Structure 1
Amino acid sequence: AYMYKGEKIRVNVIAPGGINTEIATAMGRPNMDGYTWLGPVLKLSPAPGEATDIAQCALLLASDDSAYTSGDIIAVDGGWTSF
């Protein structure tokens, strides 16, 4: 990101969390052993986001409002990976 600063090229990444999509239905029948193992963790995770949450972040990064933002990984995950 720093090397492209002079060319006014910003380099950022959107790291999405769980997003409501049709992927669960496309996968077919899930492995229930996996659900049993992940159950306690899944209860702690935030509610899934929507595709519009990712789109809003992309629009922000594409706008002049984020002109000074570069070299970042933006987590759009409802706070799941916050410290």
Structure 2
Amino acid sequence: MPVTYTYDYKSTESASNPQGTSSRTVHTTPSGTTVSSTEQPAGGQATTQTQHYPAGGNQGSGSGTLSREEAERRYLEAMEDEYAKREGGA
């Protein structure tokens, strides 16, 4: 019987300066990744954009499981992104 993995990963980053604020949230689940970006200029109206990227191997399957290789690949990508954010913010 093949081993399958499920996962859920979420990260948020935000920035604020005299020109305004911005934030970006990335939420990855077995069904895909959703990226939400919000920008608000100082004294202005906030705008939000949301994009969903379906999981490559699970489109239409609805099973919510990944192969071990796919789960490891996504985990490593998420960790690389997290380390890059931390090093960039230091």
TM-score if structure 2 supplies the norm length? 0.27
* Bigger RCO (CA 8 Å, 6+ sep): 1
Select the structure that is richer in helix: 1
TM-score if structure 1 supplies the norm length? 0.28
